[in-house]
C-alpha cells in the first residue's frame, strides 16, 4: 500500500537500547529526504520500567507525532499490552513468541497483523549478542516498508565504524537477517512510502538546535549541572570545547553555574547556562544579580513536570509564570519560548543579542518534548544569526576619563567596559548603586536607577514581534498557544482543515515582555478563542488576561506529563463546539 | 589585556597604595580588622607593581564585602556566599587577569561552603582572602560557622552548640595549593603572605584573623596577640607536607600564622586547551562557521 | 500649645544609638496610653552613614508616621541639612553648636525655633560617656513637650537595671540635665499633648507580632539565616527557646533552613521560617518540595528593595508576583499580606491553620517598614488564635492497615501520619507518586494526583475572606492596596476626609488564591479606582487584572526604597483628579 | 513514640530482612552496588531489633535515592542534595526516632556539600550512608566530585581536571564523630559497620564504595577487590586519633575500609534544654499561654 505517512513505534524494557534503535530508524528516512519527527518515552530509572520510541515519517511536512501507529515493534509482551490500541486498523505488530504468550491479548484486535519474528532464536543462531535484537527488528521494519536496506547498512556502518569491523559486521548481519526474514520467508509487504526529493536531512532536537545557535552566537562559556531534560546541551558543549574554544563547566551545583556564567559575562564573553525547573529555582537569586549588575546572561530552561523532582523524564509547560516573575524584586527580563528546533536555533541567537544589547537576562524555555525529540530539516541558514553586542567597550581609547558604568542614558543602556582595560575600571554591584557602581541607598538615586533600568523596555518592545499567526486570518476558531505545542496544533489544524473547519493559531514565542495591544484586535475579532497548553492552570491564558483583560474561557489543557497528540486537540475542539 | 603577574620589572611603575583608593571612604567601625587587610592589600599591589585595571576583585556580602566600594580595581560585588563562582567565571573568561576574592567567614564557609570545597579542588589561579571575624558583622552579630563552641550571640543566646569550621584545615583537605593564615593586626606579615599568595600559581587561600570590635568581644586583638605565633619561626616546618600542615592548622592554644602549605599542581587553566593560545575573551565571534557542527546531525 | 498629635525625629551618624534612643521616646508615650507609630531609617553599614528615627505620638488612633515633624533632634549638622525641610512651620530643632556651624543653613527656615543645647559640653561637665548625649536629648525633648520626666526615668531604670546602679544613675542624670536645661534655663514650652486614657500600651513591630503569633500557634521549630529585615524574628525565637520549648536553628544557609523546617513538619511539629527576598529566592526549590510532599509549612517573607542584594535596610513591596508564582511547576499555595502588627499576629495564626488543614505552604509577606517599626496596642487577645491541625494522625489506632498517605479524597486532603507511629509508615516523595507515596510516572496517576492536590482549593476558597473595605461604601474614589500600605492610606483618608473628599480603601491581606468575583462588583461600581503600591510595576493591579480582567489605570506608586507617607498619597490622589 | 536504639533486648522481635521490603522491586541495574547496601541495611535493622516505624530514612535524588521506594520505613525522598537538612529537622522534631540519610556522592558532596560540612559540625545523632559510585548514575554518566582526575565522562570528555573530594577526609575535618568506609561488595563487613554506626551516639558517616556497573568502568568491583584492606587488620590503629585517621583516609594505592574514627562528643541534642524532657512533637500546643511574652512588649 502506497502511503504518504507512517508511524512506527518500538517498545521494550528500559536499558535495552530502545532509544538508539529508534534514532537509527529516524535517520534511515531523514537521509533520503523524508520528513521525520520522533519521540522517546523513558522512566527516571536506569533499568526496569518501560521505554518506547515513536517515529513518524512522511513525504509531506510533518510537525508532530500522532497517536496512530502503523507498525509496532514489541520487544516484550508489555509493549503489546501498553500500545496495541494505538495500532491503526489493519496495522502491524512485530513480536517474538518467545517473549511471552500473546494469544489472549491478540483477541482484542482481530484487525491487526501480528508478525512473529523469532528474535531470540535468530540471535542465538547468528551467535551475536542479545542487544542485536534491535537490529533484527530494524531490518524487519525496513522490509515491511519495502524500503532500501542499503540505507540502513550505511548508517550502521557509520555508527559502529569506530568499534571495529567485527562489530559493524554483526550489526549488519543481524539487520539483514531481519530484512530477509520478512522479505523472503514471510513475504510481507506492508506499506510503501511515496517518493520524495532525495535530500539528506539533518535530524536534531530542540536542545541540539539551542546548542548550535549558541555556538554560532559566539557563546564562549557554558556552565551547567546535569538535569533532565537539559543535560544533552552540556554534553554537546563538552564535546566541542576544544574545536570551538568554549569553556564548558560542569559545576558543583546550579548556584555555582549561574554565578560562574555571570562572572564570565562580566569579564566580556558571551555566557549561557541551561537547566530544568529545580535548577532554575536554585538560580533565582543569581538571576537577580545579573539584573542588578546589568550583566547579560542567557538561561535555557528545559521544563519538566513539577513541582520538586516531579516527573524527571516527562514533559510539561508548567513554568512560564514562574519564569516571568522569577527572582525577588522588579526588573526587566525577556522570556522566549521556541516552538520547534528551528525556532530554538534562531531564538537562541536572538537571546544573546537581546542580552547583550539591553544588558539583561534572557530566558529561553523548552520542555522535555522539544528538548529531546528529533525533527528533520534540510539545513539551518546560520548566517541569519548575527552577533550584536550592543554598547560593549573593549578598548580603552573608547572610554572617557570618569567612566560611569551605570550612566543614566536616555535609552537606559549604559556603555559596558569589559574587565582588564585601562579606563573602564568599575564596580558591578549587587547592591543598589550610583552611576559609578558605588553602593548608594539614597531615595533619589534609587528611583533614578530603577527608572533607568526599566527604560530599556521602550526600545526592546520595538524589537519584539507580535505572535505568529498560522492558518487563515478569517478562521472560525482561534487557538492561542506557545512553545512546543505548536507542532501538535499545526497537525490538528490539518486534520480540522480536512473536515473543512477553519482554524488558526496565534503562537507566542516571545512571552515577556508581553505586548497586550498587539493582540487585542485579534482576540476581539475572533468568534471563538481557545487556549491550548500543556499544563493545569492555563498560564498563557492568565498572561493574556493580565495584559489585555481578556478572559479566554475555552481551554484545552493536558497535564499528565505527556505532550499533546494532534488527535487530542481535534477532540478538544470538537467538544468545545 | 595582559596579565603582568610575576613581571616584577615593569618599567616606570609609580603607583602608591593611595592610588588604590576609590573616592569612597571606608565605613567600617573604628578599629575594625578590615582596615588592616585593606591597607596590606593596597601595599601588596604596589609591591607587585600591579595596575588597578589588571586586577579583578570579587566580593561577597558582609562588612568585608562592603570593601568593594573602597578599593580601586575592577570589582564585582556579588551575592552573599557566591563570590567564588563569580571569580571562577571571570578567570576562565580572561585568565590574563589577576583575580582575587574577598569575603567574610559567614559568606565563605557558611552559606558559601560548597563553593569553597569545589574551588579548592579546582586549583584555579586566584587568591581568596577570607576575613574571619568569627561572627556575622553586617547583620549585627549572629553566630558564624567559625564562632567558637559556646559563643553567645543574638541567634545563639545559650551558646553555639557546633564545633567551628576551621577554614585552613578545610582548604587543606579540599586541595588548595597555597594556604596561609594572617592577622589583620600584623599588616607587615600579612602583606608578605599576600604577596606570595598572589604570586603563587594556583588557588591560594588566606584566612585573615580579623577582629570585629563591635560584635565579637572574645576574638579581640589582644586575644590573638596573646596566642599567635609565626610558622616561619619554626626551623623545620615543611610547607609541602600536607599531613603536617593539617596537624598545625588544628592547633588551638597557640595559633599558628604564616604559610601552612605551598605546592605546585597543574592549575585548572593548564588543563584547558581552549585557552592555551589566548583568553576566551579575545576570540572573534562575529561570524563563527558552524558547518562542521551542522554536519554532525546528518 | 495643646496638640493631639506630634512628630519627633532624631538623626545622627549610624552606630551612635539613634535607634535605641528613638525606641525609648516611643515607649515614654505608649506607657501612658498614647497612640504611637515609629520608623527607623538606617543604612546597610555598621558605622558611618546617616540614621534617623521618627516617632509620631497621638491622643487619637494613628496609623502611620507622616512627613511633618514638630521637633527635630539633630545630633549632627547633616541631620539639619537632610531633615530641616520636614519641620513644620514654627517647629523646633534641637542642636548643639559644637557639632557644626549652622548659621547658613538656618537662613532657609526663619520660621523654625532653633534650640541650642550644648550636648558636648554637658556630657563633659557631667563626666559621662559620649553616648549619653542621647539621654540629654531625650530629657530636653520631654521638657519641650511639657511631659512627665518620671516616665522617662522609669524606662531608663528598667532598661539599664541589669547593667548596675552606676549606669542607671548616669543615664538618668543626663536626661535630667537635658530636661532642666530646657525647663529652667531656656524656659521653653513648645507643645503639650492632649490627655488620653492612661493605659499601658505595648509597642511592637510586625516581626514581633509574627513571632508572638507563631509561639501562640505552637510553632516548635523555627529555622532561619539572618537577613534584614527578617532577622529580629530569629533573635526573638532564640530568646525564648527554652521558655517555650522551641528549637531555633540558625542554619548554614536558607536552603538548609527550608529543608530543615520541612523535615520537622514531616515529623509532626509546626515549623516556620523567615527570610527576605534573597533567601526566599534560594528557598524556591524547597517550597516545591513542601508542596509535592504535602508538608505544611509557614514562610515569612520580609521584603526589601531588590533585585539581588538591593537596598538591604529599606522598604518595598516588590515580591508579590514572585511569591505567588514561586517555584517551578504548578501547585496550590497561600499568600497573605498583613497590613499592621495586629494583622501580623492573627494572620500568622491563620497561616499555621491553613498550612496544616490543607497541607500546603503558606507565605506571609511583610516589608521592612512593617517588620521593623513599632506600633502601639493595648493588648492582643491571643485566645482568638486557635490551633487547627486538620487531618493529622498521631495515634496508630486511628489508622487502618494499608494506609495511603496520599489517599485520593474528595476534598483533596489526605490524612497525614506523623513519623514514628506503627501503622502510618509511608514515603513523603518529591517525585510524583501514587497514593502510597511510591514514585510513579504514569500519565493516569499524574493527572489524578495533580487534580487531587488542586482540589483543595474548593474548601480553601470558602475560608478566604474578601478584601476589607475601610471608609464609606459610597466613596467617590476607591483605593486598592495591600499589606503595609494600609497605615499611610488610612491616614491619607483622614486628611482627605477633612477636605470633604469621600475615599475608601479596599485592602487585601489575602492575596492568593485570589477571588476575582468577590471584587468585580466593587470595581465596576466605583467612579474612580486607584491602586496604591510600594513598587514600580503595580503588581496588585496586575493581579487584579489577571483575575478579573479589570484594568485599574490610576496608580500611585513609590519605589524609592521608602514606604509611603500619607501626604504623598493625598497629593497623588489630588493629581489624578 | 519511643526510640528503642540500643535496646538490643526487645522481647519477641521476629522481623526478618524481608520485612523491610516494600511492595516495589528495586530498579537498579543488575550488579549495581546499591543492592549490597540495601541488603546490609535491612539486615542491620534486624540485628539491631529495630521496627520499621521507628526508623526514618531521608533520601537524596539519584539512583541511590530511588531506594526510597524499596525499603519499608518512614521515608522522605527529598530534593537532590538536601537530605541532610531534612533529616536534621526530623531528628530535632522527634529525637526518639532513628534517623538515617542515604544519598549519592553527587548529592552529598556535589550539590549538597555545604550541608555535609555543617551537619558534621553539628554532631546530631543520625547516620549518613553515602553511596559513592564516583559518577552521576541517574543522569546517565557525568562526572561526580569524587571522580578521579582524568576520568572521562559525558560532561568531561577530555578528563576531569579537579582532584576528587575524599568524603572520609572531609567528614574527619568537619567534625563527624563516627566515620567509616565500607564496600558494597563486602556486605558482611558493611553490616558490621552499619550496626556500629547506628548505635553510635552522634553523627555517624559511612562512605560506601559502590560500583556503578553501567557508567563507571574504572571503579569496578575488581578495582576495589584489588585495593581494599580493613583497618581492623591493623594492630595498633587508634580510632580516636584524628590525625592518624586523616592520614589513613588519604591513602590511595591501598584503600582502607572499616572504622577510621569513633569518638564521643556531646551531641547537638544534648545541648538543647528544650527537648530534655520530651521530643518537641510530644508537646501540647492547643492553648499556649503567651501572657508572659506579651508583657515583654510594654
Ligand atoms: C542569601 C542571603 N542571605 C542572607 C543575607 C544577609 N547577610 C548579609 S551579610 C551576612 C553575613 C555577614 O557575615 P560575614 O559573611 O561573616 O561577613 P562580615 O559582615 O562578618 O564581614 C548576611 C547573613 C544576604 N545578603 N543574602
Ligand atoms: C537541583 C537539581 N539538579 C539536578 C538534578 C538532576 N539529578 C538527579 S540525580 C543527579 C545526580 C545523581 O548522582 P549522584 O548523586 O551521585 O547519585 P547516583 O545516581 O550516582 O546514585 C542529578 C544531577 C536534580 N534532581 N535536582
Ligand atoms: S561590625 Fe565588626 S566587622 Fe563590621 S565594620 Fe564593625 S568591627 Fe568591622
Ligand atoms: S546506573 Fe549505576 S548506580 Fe545507577 S542503578 Fe545502574 S549501576 Fe547502579
Ligand atoms: Mg564575619
Ligand atoms: Mg553517584
- The residue assigned the cell 600579612 is B190
Residues 6 or more apart from C493 whose CB is under 8 A from it?
Answer: C470, C471, C479, C503, C504, C505
Report yes or no: A130 at the D interface, CB cutoff 8 Å: no
Do C192 and C158 belong to one domain?
yes
Q: Which three cell numbers, joined as nine digits, stand for C369?
A: 517598614
Domains and CATH numbers, chain B: 7-272 (3.40.50.970)
The domain containing residue C262 runs over which residues? 204-384
Cα dist. C224→C250, C297, C367, C550 in Å? 5, 13, 17, 39
Do A437 and A483 belong to one domain?
no
CA of B216 to the centre of ligand 3 (A): 9
CATH number at residue A145: 3.40.920.10
pLDDT of residue D180 exceeding 70: yes
| Alpha-carbon span D258 to D192, nearest angstrom | 9
DSSP state letter for C467: P
Do C359 and C414 belong to one domain?
no
Chain D residue numbers touching A226 (CB-CB < 8 A)? 136, 139, 142, 155
pLDDT of residue B2 exceeding 50: no
Residue D112 Cβ < 6 Å to ligand 4: no
Smallest CA-to-CA distance from C315 within C304, C302, C300, C323 is with C304
Q: Are C502 and C454 in contact (CB under 8 A)?
A: no
- Lowest model confidence (mean pLDDT) among A288-297, B67-76, C100-109, C245-254: C100-109
pLDDT of residue A411 exceeding 60: yes
Do C443 and C494 belong to one domain?
no
Do C359 and C402 belong to one domain?
no
3-state secondary structure at position C431: strand
Report pLDDT digits (tens) over A456-511.
999 999 999 999 999 998 899 999 999 999 999 999 999 999 999 999 999 999 99
| Alpha-carbon span C514 to B42, nearest angstrom | 56
Smallest CA-to-CA distance from B255 within B137, B145, B132 is with B132
| Alpha-carbon span C119 to C316, nearest angstrom | 36
**CA C323, C326, C327 angle in degrees (round to 5)?**
160
End-to-end CA distance of chain B: 41
Tell me what pLDDT residue D6 has. 46
Residues 6 or more apart from A462 whose CB is under 8 A from it?
Answer: none
CA of D39 to the centre of ligand 4 (A): 16
Q: How confident is the model at residue A46 (pLDDT cuts 50, 70, 90)?
A: confident
| Alpha-carbon span A260 to B126, nearest angstrom | 14
Do A339 and A415 belong to one domain?
no
Alpha carbon A413 to its chain's center? 32
Report yes or no: A234 at the D interface, CB cutoff 8 Å: yes
Residues in chain A, total: 577
Q: Which helix (H) or strand (E) holds A24?
A: helix A18-30
Mean pLDDT computed over every residue of chain A? 96
Do A37 and A83 belong to one domain?
yes
Residues 6 or more apart from A258 whose CB is under 8 A from it?
Answer: A223, A273, A283, A286, A287, A290, A297, A299
The stretch C486-495 carries a mean pLDDT of 97
A positions 457-496 inside 8 Å of C (CB): none
Chain C residue numbers touching B25 (CB-CB < 8 A)? 48
- How would you list the strands of the sheet with B228-230, edge to edge? A427-429, B74-77, B55-59, B98-104, B127-132, B204-209, B178-183, B255-262, B228-230
Domain's final residue, options A384, A410, A444: A384
- How would you list the strands of the sheet with C554-557, edge to edge? C468-470, C503-508, C477-482, C528-533, C554-557
Mutation target among B82, B156, B174, B244 for the D interface, most CBs of D within 10 A: B174
Q: Which three cell numbers, joined as nine digits, stand for A239?
A: 564535546
pLDDT of residue A222 exceeding 90: yes
Q: Which three cell numbers, joined as nine digits, stand for C75?
A: 545630633
Q: Which residues pair with C11 in a beta bridge?
A: C52, C74
Residue D64 Cβ < 6 Å to ligand 2: yes
pLDDT of residue B210 exceeding 60: yes
Q: Which residue has the higher pLDDT, C565 or B4?
A: C565
- The residue assigned the cell 484586535 is A521
Residues 6 or more apart from D190 whose CB is under 8 A from it?
Answer: D36, D37, D40, D182, D183, D184, D206, D208
A positions 353-392 inside 8 Å of B (CB): 379-380, 382, 387
Do C377 and C505 belong to one domain?
no
Q: Nearest chain B residue to A268 by CA: give it.
A: B281
| Ligand 2 atom closest to the CA of D108, numbered from 1 | 15
DSSP secondary structure string for all residues of D119-181: HHHHT-S-EEEEEE-SEETTTTSEE-TTSPTT---SS-TT---SPPP-HHHHHHHHT-SEEEE
Report pLDDT digits (tens) over B125-176.
999 999 999 999 999 999 999 999 999 999 999 999 999 999 999 999 999 9
Do A91 and A212 belong to one domain?
no
**Percentage of chain C modeled with pLDDT above 90:** 95
> How far off is chain B from C372, nearest CA to CA, in Å?
14
- Judged by CB atoms closer than 8 Å, whether chains meet at C238 and B154 is answered as yes
Total count of domains within chain A = 4
| Alpha-carbon span A547 to A528, nearest angstrom | 19
Mean pLDDT computed over every residue of chain C? 96
Report pLDDT digits (tens) over D143-169.
999 999 999 999 999 999 999 999 999
Residues 6 or more apart from B9 whose CB is under 8 A from it?
Answer: none
Nearest bound ligand to the CA of residue A328: 1
Q: Are A213 and A385 in contact (CB under 8 A)?
A: yes
Smallest CA-to-CA distance from A365 within A292, A465, A298 is with A298
Tell me what pLDDT residue D9 has. 55
| Alpha-carbon span A88 to A105, nearest angstrom | 16
Q: How confident is the model at residue B9 (pLDDT cuts 50, 70, 90)?
A: low
Whether ipTM exceeds 0.90 = yes
Alpha helices in C400-526 (DSSP H): 443-455, 457-463, 486-498, 517-525
**Percentage of chain A modeled with pLDDT above 90:** 95
Domain's final residue, options C461, C486, C512: C461
Do C120 and C58 belong to one domain?
yes
Chain B residue numbers touching D91 (CB-CB < 8 A)? none
| Alpha-carbon span C332 to C353, nearest angstrom | 15
Report pLDDT digits (tens) over D44-77.
999 999 999 999 999 999 999 999 999 999 999 9
Report pLDDT digits (tens) over D1-45.
344 444 445 778 999 999 999 999 999 999 999 999 999 999 999
| Alpha-carbon span A289 to A276, nearest angstrom | 19
| Alpha-carbon span D211 to D213, nearest angstrom | 6
- SS3 annotation, A299-313: EEEEECCCCCCECCC
| Alpha-carbon span C541 to C523, nearest angstrom | 12
Tell me what pLDDT residue D11 has. 75
Q: Which residues pair with A478 in a beta bridge?
A: A504, A529
Where b means 16+ CB within 10 Å and e means fewer, C298-307 reads: bbbbbbbbbb
| Alpha-carbon span C157 to C165, nearest angstrom | 9
Tell me what pLDDT residue B3 has. 45
Cα dist. C472→C60, C502, C526, C571 in Å? 20, 7, 12, 20
Q: Which three cell numbers, joined as nine digits, stand for C163?
A: 547593667
Q: Which residues in A391-524 belong to E strands, given as ranges?
A: 392-393, 416-417, 427-429, 468-470, 477-482, 503-508, 510-512
Do C54 and C85 belong to one domain?
yes
CA of C123 to the centre of ligand 3 (A): 27
Residue B59 Cβ < 6 Å to ligand 3: no
Tell me what pLDDT residue B1 has. 35
Pick left, alpha or beta for residue A365 (phi over 0 → left; psi -120 to 50 → alpha; otherwise beta). Answer: beta
Domain's final residue, options C199, C215, C245: C199
Residue B142 Cβ < 6 Å to ligand 3: no
Do C195 and C223 belong to one domain?
no
Examine residue A513 and say whether the peptide bond preceding it is cis (omega within 30 degrees of 0).
Answer: yes
The pair phi, psi for residue A91, each rounded to 5°, is: -80, -175
Tell me what pLDDT residue A14 has. 87
pLDDT of residue B21 exceeding 70: yes
Tell me what pLDDT residue C259 has. 98
Q: Which three cell numbers, joined as nine digits, stand for C502?
A: 469621600
Q: Considering the entire predicted model, what is its pTM?
A: 0.98
The stretch C56-72 carries a mean pLDDT of 96
Smallest CA-to-CA distance from A36 within A8, A12, A10 is with A8
Report pLDDT digits (tens) over A92-101.
999 999 998 8
CATH number at residue C481: 3.40.50.920
Q: Are B4 and B51 in contact (CB under 8 A)?
A: yes
pLDDT of residue D201 exceeding 70: yes
| Alpha-carbon span C326 to C339, nearest angstrom | 22
Tell me what pLDDT residue A47 has. 84
pLDDT of residue B93 exceeding 90: yes
Amino acid at each position: 500500500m502506497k502511503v504518504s505517512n507512517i508511524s512506527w513505534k518500538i517498545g521494550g524494557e528500559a536499558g535495552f537500547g530502545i532509544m538508539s534503535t529508534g534514532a537509527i530508524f529516524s535517520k534511515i528516512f531523514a537521509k533520503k529526504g523524508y520528513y521525520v519527527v520522533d519521540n522517546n518515552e523513558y522512566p527516571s530509572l536506569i533499568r526496569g520500567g518501560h521505554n518506547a520510541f515513536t517515529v513518524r515519517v512522511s513525504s509531506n511536512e510533518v510537525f508532530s507525532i500522532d497517536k496512530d501507529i502503523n507498525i509496532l515493534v514489541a520487544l516484550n509482551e508489555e509493549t503489546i499490552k501498553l500500545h496495541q490500541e494505538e495500532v491503526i486498523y489493519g496495522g502491524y505488530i512485530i513480536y517474538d513468541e518467545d517473549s511471552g504468550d500473546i494469544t489472549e491479548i491478540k483477541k482484542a484486535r482481530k484487525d491487526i497483523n501480528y508478525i512473529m519474528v523469532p528474535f531470540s532464536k535468530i540471535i542465538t543462531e547468528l551467535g551475536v549478542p542479545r542487544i542485536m535484537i534491535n537490529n533484527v527488528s530494524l531490518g524487519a521494519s525496513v522490509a515491511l516498508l519495502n524500503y532500501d536496506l542499503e540505507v540502513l547498512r550505511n548508517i550502521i556502518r557509520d555508527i559502529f565504524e569506530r568499534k571495529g569491523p567485527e562489530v559493524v559486521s554483526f550489526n549488519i548481519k543481524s539487520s539483514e537477517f531481519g530484512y530477509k526474514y520478512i522479505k523472503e520467508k514471510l513475504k510481507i509487504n506492508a506499506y510503501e512510502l511515496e517518493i520524495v526529493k532525495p535530500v539528506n536531512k539533518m535530524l536534531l532536537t530542540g536542545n541540539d538546535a539551542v546548542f548550535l545557535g549558541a555556538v554560532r552566537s559566539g557563546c564562549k562559556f557554558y556552565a551547567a549541572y546535569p538535569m533532565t531534560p537539559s543535560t544533552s546541551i552540556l554534553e554537546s558543549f563538552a564535546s566541542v570545547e576544544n574545536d570551538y574554544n568554549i569553556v564548558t563547566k560542569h559545576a558543583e551545583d546550579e548556584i555555582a553555574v549561574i554565578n560562574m556564567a555571570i562572572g564570565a559575562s562580566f569579564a566580556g564573553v558571551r555566557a549561557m547556562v541551561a537547566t530544568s525547573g529545580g535548577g532554575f529555582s536554585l538560580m533565582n537569586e543569581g538571576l537577580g544579580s545579573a539584573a542588578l549588575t546589568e550583566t547579560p546572561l542567557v538561561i535555557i530552561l528545559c521544563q519538566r513536570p513539577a513541582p520538586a523532582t516531579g516527573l524527571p523524564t516527562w514533559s510539561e509547560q508548567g513554568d512560564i509564570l514562574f519564569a516571568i516573575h522569577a527572582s525577588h524584586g522588579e526588573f526587566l527580563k525577556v522570556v522566549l519560548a521556541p516552538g520547534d528546533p528551528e525556532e530554538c536555533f534562531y531564538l537562541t541567537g536572538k537571546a544573546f543579542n537581546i542580552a547583550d544589547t539591553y544588558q539583561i537576562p534572557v530566558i529561553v524555555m523548552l520542555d522535555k518534548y522539544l528538548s529531546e525529540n528529533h525533527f528533520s530539516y534540510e539545513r539551518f541558514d546560520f548566517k541569519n544569526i548575527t552577533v550584536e553586542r550592543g554598547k560593549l567597550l573593549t578598548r580603552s581609547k573608547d572610554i572617557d576619563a570618569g567612566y560611569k558604568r551605570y550612566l543614566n542614558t536616555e535609552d537606559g543602556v549604559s556603555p559596558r567596559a569589559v574587565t582588564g582595560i585601562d579606563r573602564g575600571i568599575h564596580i558591578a554591584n549587587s547592591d543598589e548603586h550610583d552611576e559609578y557602581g558605588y553602593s548608594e541607598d539614597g531615595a533619589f538615586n534609587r528611583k533614578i536607577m530603577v527608572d533607568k533600568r526599566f527604560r530599556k523596555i521602550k526600545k526592546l518592545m520595538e524589537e519584539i514581534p507580535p505572535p505568529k499567526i498560522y492558518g487563515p486570518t478569517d478562521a472560525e476558531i482561534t487557538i492561542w498557544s506557545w512553545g512546543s505545542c505548536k507542532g501538535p496544533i499545526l497537525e490538528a489544524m490539518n486534520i480540522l482543515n480536512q473536515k473543512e473547519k477553519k482554524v488558526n493559531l496565534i503562537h507566542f514565542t516571545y512571552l515577556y515582555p508581553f505586548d497586550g495591544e498587539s493582540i487585542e484586535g485579534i482576540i476581539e475579532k475572533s468568534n471563538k478563542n481557545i487556549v491550548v497548553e500543556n499544563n493545569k492552570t492555563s498560564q498563557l491564558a492568565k498572561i493574556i488576561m493580565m495584559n489585555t483583560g481578556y478572559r479566554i474561557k475555552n481551554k484545552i489543557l493536558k497535564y499528565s506529563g505527556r505532550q499533546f497528540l494532534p488527535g487530542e486537540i481535534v477532540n478538544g475542539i470538537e467538544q468545545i463546539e | 589585556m595582559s596579565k603582568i603577574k610575576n613581571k616584577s620589572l615593569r618599567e616606570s611603575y609609580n603607583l602608591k597604595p593611595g592610588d588604590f583608593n576609590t573616592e569612597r571612604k571606608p565605613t567600617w567601625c573604628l578599629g575594625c580588622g578590615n582596615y588592616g587587610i585593606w591597607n596590606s592589600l593596597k601595599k601588596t599591589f604596589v609591591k607587585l607593581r600591579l595596575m588597578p585595571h589588571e586586577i579583578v576583585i570579587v566580593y561577597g556580602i558582609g562588612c568585608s564585602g562592603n570593601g568593594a566600594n573602597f578599593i580601586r580595581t575592577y570589582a564585582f560585588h556579588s551575592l552573599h556566599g557566591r563570590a567564588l563562582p563569580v571569580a571562577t567565571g571571570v578567570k576562565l573568561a580572561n585568565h590574563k587577569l589577576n583575580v582575587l576574592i574577598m569575603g567574610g567567614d559567614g559568606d565563605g564557609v557558611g552559606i558559601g561552603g560548597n563553593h569553597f570545597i569545589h574551588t579548592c579542588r579546582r586549583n584555579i589561579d586566584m587568591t581568596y582572602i577570607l576575613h574571619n571575624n568569627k561572627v556575622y558583622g553586617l547583620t549585627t552579630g549572629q553566630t558564624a560557622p567559625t564562632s567558637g563552641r559556646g559563643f553567645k550571640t543574638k541567634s545563639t543566646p545559650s551558646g553555639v552548640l557546633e564545633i567551628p569550621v576551621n577554614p585552613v584545615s578545610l582548604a587543606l583537605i579540599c586541595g588548595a595549593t597555597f594556604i596561609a593564615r594572617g592577622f589583620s593586626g600584623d599588616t607587615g606579615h600579612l602583606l608578605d603572605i599576600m604577596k606570595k599568595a598572589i604570586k603563587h600559581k594556583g588557588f591560594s587561600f588566606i584566612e585573615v584573623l580579623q577582629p570585629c570590635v563591635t560584635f565579637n568581644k572574645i576574638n579581640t586583638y589582644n586575644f590573638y596577640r596573646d596566642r599567635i605565633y609565626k610558622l616561619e619561626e619554626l626551623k623545620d616546618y615543611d610547607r609541602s607536607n600536607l599531613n603536617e600542615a593539617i596537624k598545625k592548622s588544628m592547633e588551638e592554644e597557640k595559633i599558628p600564622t604564616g604559610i601552612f602549605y605551598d605546592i605546585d599542581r597543574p592549575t585548572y587553566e593548564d588543563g584547558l586547551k581552549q585557552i592555551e593560545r589566548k583568553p576566551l575573551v579575545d576570540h572573534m565571534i562575529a561570524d563563527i562557521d558552524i558547518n562542521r557542527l551542522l554536519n554532525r546531525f546528518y
